[in-house]
Structure 1
Amino acid sequence: MSPTNDKRFLIIFKETATPEAKSSCMQHAKNMRGGHVKEIKSTVIHGFSSSFSETEMIEFKSANFGDHGPIDWIEEDSEFHI
């Protein structure tokens, strides 16, 4: 897909996610996006933002979201920029 079809997403980790799971998840996104992710770390949240095509987001969610994945929630990042 062309970059014009990509959407930017904010991905937030679960509080219970291990450092290894967080690192693995971000590495997965980096591998899919050629290294283009931005980590967000504060006292309130830890996560990252990245652009994904619709197909890439489906693959990313299936690998990292749900009961056993490190991701707490994913939101389309159209209202603000990081």
Structure 2
Amino acid sequence: MSEKDLIANLPVPDEYLIELGKITVMYGALEFSIDRAISKLAGYESMLDWRVSVMTAHLTFQQRVNALGTLFEQVSESYPNLRTL
């Protein structure tokens, strides 16, 4: 079966696939935002330090959120504006 035949015979309507694509993009953006926040709270200068990408590459979403929460708790004394969140 060619790629063209496969695409033409998908058992899912195009509208569903478009929405799944949107969900995938938004989820990726959320993960990236969490990684950026981890990078900044961990004290790295760049917006997303490569070391954070290495450390979070194999973490689940919940593990990333937990790491971000722990960093937040540890540095909140140094950043008074964070305490109001």
TM-score by length of 1: 0.32
> Larger relative contact order (C-alpha < 8 A, sep ≥ 6)?
1
Which structure has the larger Rg? 2
Higher strand share: 1
